[in-house]
Chains A and B, each alone.
Chain A
């Protein structure tokens, strides 16, 4: 009898048992969430910002435990939170991404300005294809749609910064520079996104 395999390494991870959800947000994260909740008339509207907090707290991606924690904290269902998170390309649901996420824009202007050459160069240099992570977990390479910095085409997004126009010759140096950066750009981006939504007085109150 032939076996049908329903699981693969990029598949949908199982939701944790509701009774076993552990709340792992730091005190700072909890206070940030409380401040953000005051911006909206209901808890549901805080789903996107809370997912950003979770992405930072859980190391740059959203494992099932993170989705579950957001669901518990906002009193929504796991399925709803997972459904929202999977819609948006910047949430990394279920599977970790590298410490540095390199996103190559290949849309129209970047396309005609040589973005595919840049992409090929990055793929060859890192030994990975789009959507893959290097074995050491340092880099993930993604092809993204228009970053709206067409005056700087071809443009890359690396964490919270745009880099462009990129020259093929600069790629090696960029990779080395990122490799020697021990911090996680992915976590830094999520952190910046959370902070940009908080008012100065709210930030002062958060320890």
Chain B
């Protein structure tokens, strides 16, 4: 199947350019609609959160109290940090108004007073683009007091992070926005949902950049129109942007309709480069790895990709060729989670460190035969026992690698070197010989 461009169809950085492609028409339409009708359109569309968890978007929108007793907030998660993902970056850089319009529609539907867009501080091009788009929107009266004569006030602020993967987790993002260390907060059923008590204990709607960017299209064309896309899948509607990278000829963002085959996505990205396809991480570093056989079978959809044992995740799709050492790849994945663990809960703080230590001794040639079982045990102790989902996310890729590529671990431990012994595979190891100046 070819690409189906909706969110990535246009590049429109300025308000003029965005107006020319029909920008803010959906917002005007929403303002004329009843608030509940806006939420109902989102419900009809079947839109699910694009940040990774795939939670039905309308439930969040509908969960904000209709009887307003406190200030309501809208928070856009633009702290894109999942290794392999760069879709939000392109969305913010190429069409920042699309994201802002989505937030405004959400703000209108949930009677919000203030919106924040939490962007990771590394993304300065995004921050500048979004900031200048917000400035333009204020100048045109799209933001601020008494918007378009409706009596509704809505302010939108850019808030920049300061370097932390954990802040992409929604409750940790709220901690960070409120001036704390970016650690997750207690969640339902032990605490109220953010839609009831989020930022500063007020109702807060949190969605990913891509989710907000979908809203104008749904309101403009109707929920049924949106839901018709991806109808071949069980419960995945619309389009999804996949950030394709790794050993492919044309890395980049590709927007496809749900129901497209994973192998078609690889083809869109120009096919595999430098050798035969070996593995694929379809949805960012947290999701289970697939072998070439599964890639050939996989259909993209939240439930469909589960049938081959992986997840849509955030859409950070990395393909690997035959010169990839899976053990070295998992060593690096373990290192990522070890460095990015916020340290709040014991399973993740200690577990990610152990996962790294064991991988480190294996790739240095000191692996022990019992290490495979030890890794499995540690993963089992993290998965489902960590305070937030990012602990689980640290365990899943390793569990999958041990299941899909067990012989690579066995070989490495037995021989003290990788089963993949090619010059290209050596690039993956930091302990290679020094480079001459």
Residues of A at the B interface (CB closer than 8 Å) are 39, 41-42, 44-49, 51-52, 83-84, 87-91, 106-109, 111-114, 116-117, 119-121, 124-125, 145-153, 157, 160-162, 168, 189, 192-193, 195-201
Verify if B435 is at the interface (C-beta below 8 Å from A): yes
A196 touching B179, Cβ below 8 Å: no
The reply to whether the CB of B379 lies closer than 8 angstroms to some CB of chain A is no
CB–CB B320/A112 < 8 A:
yes
State the CA gap A120–B436 with chains docked (Å): 9
Chain B residue with Cβ nearest A151: B251
The complex places the Cα of A106 from the Cα of B285 at a distance, in Å, of 13
The answer to whether B162 and A117 have CB atoms under 8 Å apart is no
Please determine whether B428 and A112 come into contact, CB atoms closer than 8 angstroms: yes
The bracket for how many chain B residues form the interface is: 35 or more
Known contacts A151-B244, A199-B157, then 12 further A-B pairs from the complex at CB < 8 Å, ordered by chain A residue: A45-B200, A108-B333, A112-B320, A120-B432, A148-B83, A150-B84, A157-B122, A168-B435, A193-B124, A197-B159, A199-B134, A201-B138
Does A45 lie within 8 Å of B435, measured CB to CB? no
Interface positions of B from 57 to 113, Cβ below 8 Å from A: 71, 80-86, 89
The 3 A-B pairs with the shortest beta carbon distances in the complex, nearest first, are A47-B179, A89-B163, A88-B162
B292 contacts A by Cβ under 8 Å: no
Structural contact, A111 and B160, CB atoms closer than 8 A: no
Residue B139 lies at the interface, judged by CB distance under 8 Å to chain A = yes
Q: Please tell me if the beta carbons of B162 and A153 are within 8 angstroms of each other in the complex.
A: no
Q: Is the CB of B83 within 8 A of A145?
A: yes
- Which chain B residue shows the least CB distance to A85? B162
Contact A145 B158 (CB under 8 A): no
- A197 to chain B: closest residue by CB: B158
Question: How many A-B Cβ pairs are below 8 Å?
Answer: 188
CA distance in complex: A162, B82 (Å) = 17
Q: CA A49 – CA B118 in complex, angstroms?
A: 12
Contact between chains at A49 and B122 (CB < 8 Å): no
Complex A-B: 23 CB contacts under 8 Å: A39-B157, A41-B200, A47-B180, A83-B181, A88-B162, A89-B164, A90-B161, A112-B246, A119-B430, A120-B432, A124-B435, A146-B84, A148-B123, A150-B316, A160-B124, A162-B125, A196-B127, A196-B131, A196-B160, A197-B127, A197-B158, A200-B138, A201-B138
Contact status A120-B131, CB under 8 Å: no
Contact B181 A107, beta carbon cutoff 8 Å: no
The answer on a CB contact under 8 Å between A48 and B245 is no
B interface list, Cβ under 8 A from A: 71, 80-86, 89, 120-125, 127-128, 130-131, 134-135, 138-139, 155, 157-165, 176-182, 200, 243-247, 251-253, 281, 285, 316, 318, 320, 324, 328-329, 332-333, 336, 339-340, 342, 427-430, 432, 434-437
A83-B181, A106-B332, A199-B134 given; A117·B435 CB < 8 A: yes
CA distance A203 to B163 in the complex (A): 25
Looking at chain A's contact residues, the main secondary structure is helix
**Once the chains bind, are B436 and A145 in contact (CB under 8 Å)?**
no
Contact of B336 among A46, A107, A114 (CB under 8 A): A107
Other-chain residue from A51, A84, A108, A148 in contact with B180 (beta carbon distance below 8 A) = A84
Is B332 a contact partner of A107 (Cβ separation < 8 A)? yes
Least distance between A198 CB and chain B CB atoms (Å) = 8
Residue numbers in B under 8 Å from A198 (CB-CB): 131
- Known contacts A119-B430, A145-B336, A200-B138; is-contact A150 B83 (Cβ 8 Å): yes
Query: Are B200 and A42 in contact, with the CB atoms below 8 A?
Result: yes
Chain A residues, Cβ within 8 Å of B333: 108
Among A39, A52, A120, A189, the residue within 8 A (CB) of B124 is: A189
Given the contacts A47-B179, A111-B332, A146-B84, A192 and B124 also touching, CB distance less than 8 Å:
yes
Closest A residue to B433 by CB, please name it.
Answer: A120
Q: How far is the CA of A200 from the CA of B188 in the complex (A)?
A: 39
Are B121 and A45 neighbours in the complex by a CB distance under 8 Å? no
- When the two chains form their complex, are residues A153 and B161 in contact, meaning their CB atoms are under 8 A apart? no
